[in-house]
């Protein structure tokens, strides 16, 4: 988890080569809480933002 906002989270995903221990691939993604009926972004529920923030603190070794 890299960033938590009102309506979105930004996070990284990494894949490592088991044999060499080298980083094989990395991507940074953005997830948006999107209301399909209203067709617009909505605020993330408070508990989701809190859990995402806790994940960010727990895994703070990953930085972009």
Residue 43 structural domain: 3-58
Between CA 40 and CA 38 the distance in angstroms is: 6
37 located within any domain: yes
* Residue 46, φ and ψ in degrees, nearest 5: -55, -40
Count of structural domains, the chain: 1
Contacts of 18 (CB under 8 A, 6+ apart): none
Alpha helices (H) along 1-64? 46-58
Q: Predicted confidence band at 33 (pLDDT cuts at 50, 70, 90)?
A: very high
13 located within any domain: yes
63 located within any domain: no
Q: What is the pTM of this model?
A: 0.73
What's the pLDDT tens digit per position in 19-30?
Answer: 999 999 999 999
């Amino acid at each position: 988890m890299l960033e938590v906002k009102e309506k979105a989270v930004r996070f990284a995903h990494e894949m490592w080569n088991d044999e060499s221990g080298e980083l094989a691939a990395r991507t940074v993604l953005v997830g948006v809480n999107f209301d399909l009926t209203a067709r617009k972004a909505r605020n993330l529920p408070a508990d989701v933002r809190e859990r995402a923030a806790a994940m960010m603190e727990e895994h703070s070794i990953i930085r972009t």
